[in-house]
Amino acid sequence: MASPDGSTSSSSTGTLATNRKASHDYHFLDTFEAGISLLGPEVKSIRDGNVSLNEAFARFDRGEVYIYGMHIQPYSHARTDELDPVRPRKLLLHRREIDRLQGQVTQKGCTLVPRRIYITRGRIKIELALAKGKLKGDKRESLKKKQADREASRAVRRNRS
């Protein structure tokens, strides 16, 4: 709901779930926004924040893009006997985007990794990244860089006070 100053409240906008492990395992080359084909109780559950992207990945199937392994906890006030929490869900992309992504995935040896789920203008969207896997040495290097940045920011804070 919009407040008098025109901004939206934090419960109706913003990031609902992130895949923090993905940035550790992959180099991101490009990002895309896609809609998700969901059922009513799934939407309510995602809005409550009951979604996990930790084991999720996207794959091409019959000319469409589907997300696998995304776990949506069943909504507590709905009948849960008919919905599988980890069923494949169709991603809503334009045909040109699908063709371009499929070409890049097959040529470059990349993969599609979901980075986060968020709400924009009342719609639940997913951010996909075209990513290339990191090697063990790259992972160590990125951890060292992160630790050095953290120590530098601590030193700056210490010097300010």
* Predicted pLDDT of residue 44: 87
The residue among 32, 24, 22 whose CA lies nearest residue 126 is 32
Q: Is 8 among the domain residues?
A: no
pLDDT score of 27: 83
pLDDT tens by residue, 121-131: 888 999 999 88
Does some domain include residue 151?
Answer: no
Give me the domain span that covers residue 78: 14-134
* pLDDT of 54 above 60: yes
Query: What is the predicted pLDDT for the residue at 8?
Result: 40
pLDDT, tens digit (0-9, with 9 covering 90-100), for 20-46: 888 778 888 889 899 998 888 888 888
If one counts the domains in the chain, the total is 1
In a domain, 68, yes or no: yes
Backbone angles phi, psi at 81, to 5 degrees: -70, -15
Arithmetic mean of pLDDT, 150-154: 90
Instruction: Give the pLDDT score at 81.
Output: 63
> What are 73-111's pLDDT values in tens digits?
888 787 766 777 888 999 999 999 999 988 888 887 788
Instruction: Decide if 19 is inside a domain.
Output: yes
In a domain, 91, yes or no: yes
The reply to whether 158 falls in a domain is no
Q: Which residue do the tokens 């992504």 mark? A: 101
In a domain? residue 147: no
What H or E segment, with its residue span, contains residue 51?
strand 51-52
* pLDDT score, position 5: 42
Q: What is the overall mean pLDDT for the chain?
A: 83
Residue 143 lies in a domain: no
pLDDT > 70 fraction of the chain, expressed in percent and rounded: 91
| Confidence band of 6 (pLDDT split at 50, 70, 90) | very low
Segment 62-71, tens digit of pLDDT? 989 999 989 8
DSSP bridge partners of 27: 132
CATH number at 66 reads 2.40.280.10
Does the pLDDT value for residue 118 go beyond 90? yes
| pTM score of the predicted model | 0.72
- Host H or E run for residue 90: strand 89-92
